[in-house]
Structure 1
Amino acid sequence: MPPAKRRRGNGPAEPPDLKELIETNISNSTQEIKKTVNNLEKQVGNVSKTILEKIEKIESRMDQQNSSEKSPEKTFVVKETFKDVLTMREGDYCDGKCHEHFGQNWNLGIKRSDDYLLAYLALKKKPNADKIYVETSQEISISVENRDRISKTVENRFPSGDVLLYRLLTWKDMEQRYVRDGSINLEVRVKVNKMEGPIRSEFHQFDVSNEKFSNVILNVDSHKFYVLKELLSMHSSYFDKLFTGGFQESGKAEVILKEVDPQDFQVFLELIYGYPAVYDCTVEGILLLNDIYDTKIVRERCIAFLMEDSDMTAIKKLQLASRYQIDGLAKKTISEIKVAEEYRNLVAEGKDDFSPEILKALLDKALTFKIL
């Protein structure tokens, strides 16, 4: 409450003393501040409690994940912008560019059929290569600037060289809602559940012909690998614990390894046995497997190949560097970007797949082109 006005006898009221007025205002403001601070303390306390609860939940979830057996899931994302779609006629196809994932070439495509937009993910058959079959889970979606998303989830099994088409939405609906400047944006998230094909062994056979040089059988998706426990234990902390850690498998003559691609495991073993089995078509599967088996020599050979001999694109190298924390590869790849146009294309296509550290390095690189 402001101080009362004083009167001089029967004269008019005088304004209150300035000092008294200031002190009163300060007192009132202080009370308001205290109330605000108290409210903020309560709010901060609630927020802190919520954050702590979330942290505890995350830590609990991480403990559960760490205590459970890791699974080397093969997952990837393909994004594509299809231009001039309004010129497509009934029966027309439009193929996107090829993307290499886990040693195979994939591409996203669309078709106009019966006034519907059909979408598909194709697995390209490599020249002179055996046909393989893949089992996948796919989520194909269309959106406008990551909004108004429509998606379709499918599970399928198909051979390399073939495609399976899926209705996404009507052509009219696509025209009205999703076309921007004559283009549409599609995305497919893929989980490869299984790849079926003959095991290629370029350097060494681990089948029954290797039995006399082995003391354990590793059963990977019904493919039997005859190997030495001691050699695997020497290089891999996973197999060291498996064979010498007192687990039930330690004394078994045959051990089953679940959710492992037998072709990747063949190449993984060849590397442990000293063979130069790393190529562009094998390195991604090996790195994924080594995330589980923790083998230093395998990681070092993969990194050396990627740094010196790989013909992979810059975007693919940076994706692998992000996923498997290969700092040297990221630094070298970014340093080799010499043209601004290459930089723009790389960032536009791969920015969602890069780690924060790599995105920061790319931002620093942008300054050298003066394109910000």
Structure 2
Amino acid sequence: MANKENGMDIGDNVDAQQREIKAMKRIFDEMSEQLQSMEESISKISKSETSANSKQEPTEKSINSKGKMPAESQKCFVLKHVFTNIAGWNNGDYKYAEDEEHFNVKCCIVLARHGNHLNFSIFFYDIEEWSVETEEDWSVQTKIQFKLVSSNGNAVIKTMDYCVEGEGETGFPEFMDWQTVEKKYLVDGNLTAEIQVQVIETVGLGKEKIRTFDESNRDVSDVVLTVRDTKFYVLKKFLAAQSSFFKTLFFGNFSESLISEVTLTGIDPYDFHHFLECLYGESAIDDTTVEGVFLLADMYDAPTVIRRCQEFLLEKSEKALYKKIQIANRNLMQSWTNLANESSEYQKMSGKSFVLKHVFKNVANLRGSAKSEKEDHFGMFWYMCLEWKGDDLEFFIDFSNPISTEKKWSIETEIEVKIIGKRRNDARGPMSHCFKKSGRLSFQQWPYFPCLEELEEGLLVDGNLTVEVHVTIKKSVGLRKGKIRKFDVSQKDVSDVVLDVKGIKFYSSKMYLAAQSSFFKDLFCGTFSDSMKSEVTLTGIDPHDFQNLLELLYSESAINDSTVEGILHLALIYEIPTATKRCEEFLLLKSKKKLKKKLMLAVRYKLKILKRMCLDHIGNKEQIRSMIPSNIQDLDHELMSVLLEKAISTKANAICCFAEPKCRFLLNS
């Protein structure tokens, strides 16, 4: 009986244990689901850190046992440069790498030899242009990691904290003894230097705050978010509706969902303020805030803010194209390149476009024909002509003397003709036209060009006719003296990428292009899907110009008066300083282009030395007047300012009159 009772007790115990195990299993499953949800929601926060850590080189324990950067801030960027011919340096020699701008911080790497040591430092430029107009001084708190990689793959890493408060240099004057540098760290006489910068907190920089989230909002908030001692009073449900991260944080099974104050780590309160402003519908995004706000929008999975950042970069930002792609690359926006190709800003920059404008005098009494002045655009001389053909008025555009040694040449264009009238305007096009056997395109009679009666009904101004022709060159073939170098399939064995430009394939090297161009560096070495492809399509450019650009990059003499503008155009798009510099040197020393055209190119492509040379050759008001373009649209603010500056310096009385729809200079003695 006792055994039976004992047996029943044992059975009961087993059942109880099984029930307990099942209950624990349910709890475990619920916890697993919560952990998985949490992991999915906050994975974006750590992805940048994971990506950065995965690229870290092994370190020499004897020198650096604590070289790893603490994950205090996700506002992190890397400067990297290969310094050449270091082996021949003497005491006092130094070099600066190219300037870079990240998160409103402009800086560059500096190497120098001081005695028997290598000075490894970073130089920060003054950034007053981004500071807000407040009584508070600006500053940027950073954590900096200096890294040299040896020939066998090991690395020496040293870190420091630094507060940027103005222009200045910081680093390690005795980073390494010179003998060790020469023995272990030079590769073919070159030294690879890398600096990683984490922006911890910024004060007094960028866009002025539009909205407050301080204690004055206590009555309309139910949670306080603390970011580095700055408190933000907000609504849980509103943030949860905008962000899957905050939805999981506030309405998941976490302790934070029950408390009224939550601390957010690893972010900058400056960025978070503008992030909240954007969530609350304010116009918080500009070129000083977009990079930081985009970072937080990606971290917290806030699609509305991501979309607004993307729209700003596509339509309004004045940042260079390579910088926009760099921001998109950091936030893993795989589809951004396709969207950029469709944006008006990209199309404006990538299109080879220009405008011809002329006022034809006394059209009704015109005898014979009247021509506009020939204008140099992309190696061809373009002009407009108006003439009578019997009783019909004919208008045509033409370009003269295309450089062609090939039997067949062509220029694919898109053209729009506008007549600017007194009481109304009239437009024809845009229309596609391919010039082949002749450079002339005629617009004769209605509906292509108005008859005289139609012109007199509001299109003539005091008997004069103002015509604008907008031309975009899509593709040109045969307008050169022959290719210097081949980039066709014969180069397949020495190439690892094929670039497709309007059906023409160029075989090249990813790493070589990346070393020359910030655009190609981000394209081929970043996280875009294109970085893994063996064939990439480049849109919106002319294969004729791209052939010339590649020849120049491969050290050929590809620059002449017919190619220089097209090469400059692509050098701007793809951010290739070497090509820009060589074009400027050609325009300074060899080009036979007119002074007016050189000045236009200098302003458009920011060629400072050429611009100064052009201004030095202007000596009086007549020469200043001759610099004013016939097309007033080409008179941008920078050109206007340099002409006014020169007018004042030559003691000419310069009066700038603004009148819609055009602006003109009146220069009087």
Partner of 1:28: none
Partner of 1:103: 379
Answer yes or no: is the 8 Å Cα contact 1:116–1:168 preserved in 2. no
Distance 1:348 1:136, change over 3 A: closer
| Residue 262 (1) aligns with residue 534 (2) | no
Q: Deviations over 1:228-255 (max 9, x none)?
A: 2221111112212222213323333322
Please tell me the residue identity of whatever aligns with 2:621: A
Partner of 2:314: 64
Partner of 1:164: 441
Partner of 2:647: 366
Distance 1:357 1:219, change over 3 A: closer
Distance 1:251 1:54, change over 3 A: closer
Q: What's the % identity of the aligned pairs?
A: 31
| Residue 216 (1) aligns with residue 501 (2) | no
Q: Distance in 2 between matches of 1:148 and 1:268?
A: 43
Distance 1:237 1:256, change over 3 A: same
Partner of 1:352: 633
Q: TM-score if structure 1 supplies the norm length?
A: 0.74
Answer yes or no: is the 8 Å Cα contact 1:115–1:170 preserved in 2. no
Please report how far the alpha carbon of residue 185 of structure 1 lies from its aligned counterpart in structure 2 after TM superposition.
2.3
Distance 1:287 1:62, change over 3 A: farther
Please tell me the residue identity of whatever aligns with 2:416: E
| Residue 148 (1) aligns with residue 424 (2) | yes
The alignment partner of 1:169 has SS state of coil
The alignment partner of 1:168 has SS state of coil
Distance 1:54 1:331, change over 3 A: farther
Q: TM-score if structure 2 supplies the norm length?
A: 0.43
The alignment partner of 1:349 has SS state of coil
More helix by share: 1
Q: Distance in 2 between matches of 1:259 and 1:187?
A: 23
Please report how far the alpha carbon of residue 151 of structure 1 lies from its aligned counterpart in structure 2 after TM superposition.
2.1
Q: CA RMSD in A?
A: 3.1
Q: Deviations over 1:155-200 (max 9, x none)?
A: 1323252423223222134356455576432211122233344776
The alignment partner of 2:441 has SS state of coil
* Higher relative contact order, structure no. (Cα contacts within 8 Å, ≥ 6 residues apart): 1
Any unmatched runs of 5+ in structure 2? 1-280, 291-307, 316-323, 325-335, 653-667
Partner of 1:239: 520
Q: Distance in 2 between matches of 1:246 and 1:176?
A: 59
Distance 1:346 1:53, change over 3 A: farther
Partner of 1:76: 354
Answer yes or no: is the 8 Å Cα contact 2:499–2:536 preserved in 1. yes
Q: Distance in 2 between matches of 1:191 and 1:183?
A: 26
Q: Distance in 2 between matches of 1:266 and 1:196?
A: 11
Answer yes or no: is the 8 Å Cα contact 1:112–1:171 preserved in 2. no
Please tell me the residue identity of whatever aligns with 2:434: F
Answer yes or no: is the 8 Å Cα contact 1:135–1:155 preserved in 2. no
The alignment partner of 1:357 has SS state of helix
Answer yes or no: is the 8 Å Cα contact 1:118–1:169 preserved in 2. no
Q: Distance in 1 between matches of 2:430 and 2:453?
A: 23
The alignment partner of 2:628 has SS state of helix
| Residue 312 (1) aligns with residue 312 (2) | no
Answer yes or no: is the 8 Å Cα contact 1:122–1:163 preserved in 2. yes
Q: Deviations over 1:105-133 (max 9, x none)?
A: 22112233464533222233426544532
Please tell me the residue identity of whatever aligns with 1:64: L
Misfit runs of 4+, over 6 Å: 52-55
Q: Deviations over 1:39-95 (max 9, x none)?
A: xxxxxxxxxxxxx97786998443234452444111100112334533435xx4433
Answer yes or no: is the 8 Å Cα contact 2:357–2:468 preserved in 1. yes
Please report how far the alpha carbon of residue 265 of structure 1 lies from its aligned counterpart in structure 2 after TM superposition.
0.7
Any unmatched runs of 5+ in structure 1? 1-51
Distance 1:84 1:345, change over 3 A: farther
Listed as ranges, the matches of 1:122-137 within 5 Å are 122-126=398-402, 128-130=404-406, 131-137=408-414
Please tell me the residue identity of whatever aligns with 1:99: E
Partner of 1:45: none
Q: Distance in 2 between matches of 1:251 and 1:262?
A: 23
Q: Distance in 2 between matches of 1:79 and 1:346?
A: 15
Please tell me the residue identity of whatever aligns with 1:251: M
Distance 1:248 1:199, change over 3 A: farther
Aligned length: 320
Q: Deviations over 1:132-153 (max 9, x none)?
A: 32332222122257x6322222
Please report how far the alpha carbon of residue 201 of structure 1 lies from its aligned counterpart in structure 2 after TM superposition.
4.7
Q: Distance in 1 between matches of 2:476 and 2:284?
A: 38
Q: Distance in 2 between matches of 1:261 and 1:199?
A: 13
